[in-house]
Amino acid sequence: MYQQDWPYPLEWDKEEVIQSEVLILGGGIAGCMAAIAAARQGLQVVLVEKGATKRSGAGGSGCDHWESAATNPCSKVTPEELAKAMLEDNDGFNNGISHYIECREGYDRLLDIEKLGGKIRDTEDAFKGAEFRDERTKLMFAYDYENKYTIRIWGSTFKPAMYNELKRLGVKIYDRIMITSLLTEDGKQGGRCVGATGIHTRTGKFYIFKSNASVMCMSRPARVWLFSAALPGLCEFRPTQCIGDGHAMGWRAGAEFTMMEKSVGAEFSASGKSYPPYGAGNNHNTWYAASLIDSNGKEVPYADRDGNILEGVSDRFKPAKGQRFFMKGGNIDNPKYAYEGPETLPLSKMVEEGYKLPFYADLSALPDHERKVIWGMMIGEEGKTKIPIYKNYKDAGFDPEKHVIQCYGRGWTSASFLPQERQLFGLPGGFLNDWSLSTNLAGLYVAGDSLFASNCFGHAATTGYYAGRHAAEFAQENGLMEIDLKQINNEKARVYAPLKNDPHNSIGWKELNMGIAKTMQNYCGEVKRNELLNIGLSLLKEYEETVIPNTFAYNPHELVRLLEVFDILTVSQIILQSCLARDTSSKPLCFHRGDSKETDIDKNNQFITVKQVDNQVHIGRLSLNYFGDLKENYEKNNKDYIGGGNYDAR
Amino acid sequence: MMPDKKICMPSEMPAANPIVYNKEKCIGCNRCVEICQVDILIPNSEKGKPPMVLYPGECWYCGCCVMECPLEGAITLRHPLMNQVHWVAKESLMNK
C-alpha cells in the first residue's frame, strides 16, 4: 500500500441547505429534459447529478436513433397504432402511459433538441438520394423505410446542447452529488415528497434539498447479478455509477413499484462476458441491416417473417407482404409475428447446414449509403462508439470496404453468459406511474429509466419533459414544507457510518457487491422457487444487520461506491419480494417458476405492485390496462399541451 | 474518527489500463477529469501534468474524456485485451 493526498477538500459532516420549486434527481437525458420543461414554466429549478451533467447518463456520449417518432411528417404509423403494438408485443406487460407519451410527443422533443443545437437532419446532403432519406425534410430513417417512424440522429450533439440550455434557463446544476434519500412529510413512509438529501462525491459534504416537487430521473438498477471486482465498469450496459439508487431510495420512502420480478438472461451487456457495445460483428440495432457471412465468405440469407428469402438489400427495410409495419431497434429482440421484421436465418441453423464458424459482419457488401450510414454515422453517433469503436478501429486500420468484423459465438449478441447471470434489461421493472407521471408519493414525479418498462433515449427525453411539466404544475399549487429533522439525522448517520469503522477490520464495496451478486445468482437465478427466494432474503437481511455495519471507505469516492452497493442490496430485496409475490410462471416477464404448475391466467395477467408501509411489504394487483384508453386519457390530462405539438399539425 | 487527507491506494496491478496519457501532448488542463461521469481520474498534484487514473477498473469506456480533450492524441482509450475485436480482410476468406 502507498499513500497519496486526496486532491479535494474534505468536508465530512458539513451541511448545506438548497431550496427550489422543482428538484430534478439525476442529470441524464430524462433529468435534463425535465429541468428544461420546469424552467420554461418560470420555476426555480435545481438539478442534482452524481457525475457531470454535460455528458452524464447512459445517453451522454451519444445515440444513433430516435424510436417512436410517430408524429414526424413522414410517418405512416399513428401514435395509437404504435403504442398498441408496443403493448401487444409484450402481452400487455408494458408501460402504456409512458410509451404513448413517447409516441405522441417524441417528435416534438426532437424538434426542441434541434432548436437547442442538436443535429437531427442530413443538412450537408451527405446522404442525398439514399433510400432512407426524405429529400424534403432531410430526415433520415432507420429499419422500416416504408413507415418511417424511427429517425437516425447525431446524438453525440444532444447532451451538450441540453446542458447549454439548462444554463441559459438559469437551472442550478449541482454536479458530483449523489442523492441518497428522499425526504417525506413528517418523515413518514408514503408521505408527500418534500425534498432529498445528498453527499458530495469528492468532498463528502452533506446536502439537504428542499422542494415543492421532485422528479426522479435516475437509472434502472444494475450489478444485481453481474459483478466483476477487477472491472466493475464493464459489468453492465449502463454507466458504472448508474445502479438504481432511485429505486432503492424510493422503496425506503414508500414508493410503489411494478414488474420488479422481471429479469432477463444477461446478453447485451457492456463487456466482461461480451464485447464492447456495437463493437463486435452483428446485424442488429445500430448494425441493421449488415450482411453476415461465414468464414468462407458465404452470405447468410435474410428472410421475411414468413421465411421468404429476401434477394436485395433494399428488401431488408420493407414490411412483409400484407404487414402494416415492423418493429426493430434497441429493445426488440423477438417480436411477435405481427411486428416481426426481416432477419437473417438463425446462425445455429446455418452451422448445421455446413456454414463455417466464425461468422462476420460484412459492410462491404452493402450499397454505399447503407455502409456509410452504419460506419461513420450510426457508429460514431451511438453511445460509446465515437471514440472506442469508430476512432480506435479506424486508427487500427479497419476499413469497412475491405474488412469484415467477427461475431462471437453463434448468435448476434456476441455474448456468453450463464443462465443464472441475469440483468434488468428489455423493459425492466420500476416506479409505478399515473397519467401525470406521478408516483404514489405526492410531489414525486418519475421519468426515463426510473419508470417501469422504460427503454430508449427518446422515451427518456419525452417522459422527462412530460414529468417536468406536470411537476411544475404541482409546484405551482403546493409550497415548501418543513423537513423532518429526525429523518435528516438518521440519514446523516447512515451515510457517514462506514467512515467511522476500522479499515483493517472492515470490508469494502467490491466485496459486498460480489456477495450480493452471488446471493442473487444462487437464490434468484433463472428458475425461481420459494424456498430459495426466502433464503436469498434472509441472507440479504443478514448482510444488512452484520455486514453493512462493518464496511469502510477511504475517501468520498469510495464512500459513494459503498452507498451504491447498499442500494443494490435494497434493490435485490425488492426483486426477491416481487418474485415471491408472483406465484406462477410468466413468459412476457421472462419469469420461470420451478415450484408451481398452476396456471391461473386471469391472476397471472396482472401487474404485481410492491411497496412498503410502516416498513412492511405490501403487495397489490393491478389490471394490465389500468391506464384506460390511451388517447382519451392523454388528452384529458394534457389540456394545456394539446394543439402545440406535431400531433395536431399532421 | 473520519478519514483524513491521506488516502490509501492498493499497489495491486490493475486488471486494465483504460486511459493512456501522452505526456508530451497533455497540458494538464483537467477537462477529462471534469467530464468523466464515473469520476475515475484525479488532477495531478503537479500542475500542468497529466491527470492520474485513480480507479481504472471503474472505467465505462464511453470515450468522453477523449471527446472533451482539446489536444488530438493526448489521451488514448484502450479496451482490455479480452474485449478487443478481430477483423479480417474479406478477400482472405473468399480465397480459402
Per-position b or e across A549-577, b if 16+ CB within 10 A of its CB? eebbbbbbbbbbbbbbbbbbbbbbbbbbb
Chain B CB contacts of A379 below 8 Å: none
Give the closest-approach CA distance of A485 to chain B in angstroms. 23
- Residue boundaries of the structural domains of chain B: 19-79
Provide φ and ψ at B92, rounded to 5°. Answer: -65, -25
Calpha distance A390→A438 (Å, rounded): 40
Are the beta carbons of B88 and A403 separated by less than 8 Å?
yes
ipTM: 0.96
B6 interface with A at CB cutoff 8 Å: yes
pLDDT at A168 exceeding the cut of 60 = yes
Give the closest-approach CA distance of A276 to chain B in angstroms. 7
Check residue B94 and give its pLDDT.
Answer: 83
Mention every residue, 6+ apart, whose C-beta is less than 8 A from residue A79. A68, A70, A71, A100, A103, A104, A631, A647
Are the beta carbons of B90 and A402 separated by less than 8 Å?
yes
Among A285-294, A367-376, A413-422, whose mean pLDDT is lowest?
Answer: A413-422
Among A27-31, A178-182, B8-12, whose mean pLDDT is lowest?
Answer: B8-12
Q: Using DSSP bridges, classify how beta strands A45-48 and A172-174 pair: parallel, antiparallel or unpaired.
A: parallel
Q: Which amino acid is at A244?
A: G
Chain B CB contacts of A2 below 8 Å: 8-9, 11
Calpha distance A177→A518 (Å, rounded): 29
Check residue A267 and give its pLDDT.
Answer: 80
pLDDT averaged over every residue in chain A = 95
Mean pLDDT, residues B19-31:
98
* More confident call, A302 vs A599: A302
Q: CATH fold of B19-79, please?
A: Alpha-Beta Plaits (3.30.70)
Contacts 24+ apart (CB under 8 A), A348-356: A348/A410, A348/A411, A350/A294, A350/A300, A351/A410, A355/A294, A355/A296, A355/A298, A355/A300, A356/A294, A356/A295, A356/A296
Q: Using CA coordinates, name the residue in chain B closest to A234.
A: B60
Are the beta carbons of B62 and A56 separated by less than 8 Å?
no
Give the single-character DSSP code of B10: -
Residues 46-75 on B with a CB inside 8 Å of A are: 54-55, 57-64, 66-68
Calpha distance A401→A279 (Å, rounded): 17
Calpha distance A455→A580 (Å, rounded): 25
Chain B CB contacts of A293 below 8 Å: 90, 93
With H, G, I as helix, E, B as strand and everything else as coil, classify residue A43: coil
Are the beta carbons of A156 and B1 separated by less than 8 Å?
no
Check residue B87 and give its pLDDT.
Answer: 98
Mention every residue, 6+ apart, whose C-beta is less than 8 A from residue A352. none
The residue among A1, A3, A4, A501 with the most chain B CBs within 10 A of its CB, best to mutate, is A4
B77 interface with A at CB cutoff 8 Å: yes
Mean pLDDT, residues B56-76:
97
Calpha distance A562→A581 (Å, rounded): 29
Q: Counting one residue from A and one from B, how many pairs have CB atoms under 8 Å apart?
A: 187
- CA-based max dimension of chain B: 70
Mention every residue, 6+ apart, whose C-beta is less than 8 A from residue A423. A222, A224, A225, A226, A236, A237, A263, A264, A266, A269
Strand ranges for A402-537 from DSSP E: 403-406, 422-423, 430-431, 444-446, 527-528
The residue among A557, A558, A559 with the most chain B CBs within 10 A of its CB, best to mutate, is A557
Among A270-279, A413-422, A569-578, B79-88, whose mean pLDDT is lowest?
Answer: A270-279
* Alpha-carbon distances, residue A550 vs A506, A511, A547, B81 (angstroms): 5, 12, 5, 36
Calpha distance A372→A376 (Å, rounded): 6
| Cβ atoms of B56 and B46 closer than 8 Å | no
Give chain A's domains with CATH numbers: 486-622 (1.20.58.100)
Check residue A509 and give its pLDDT.
Answer: 97
Confidence of residue A226 (pLDDT cuts 50, 70, 90): very high
Mean pLDDT, residues A434-454:
98
Are the beta carbons of B93 and A270 separated by less than 8 Å?
no
Check residue B6 and give its pLDDT.
Answer: 67
pLDDT at A1 exceeding the cut of 50 = no
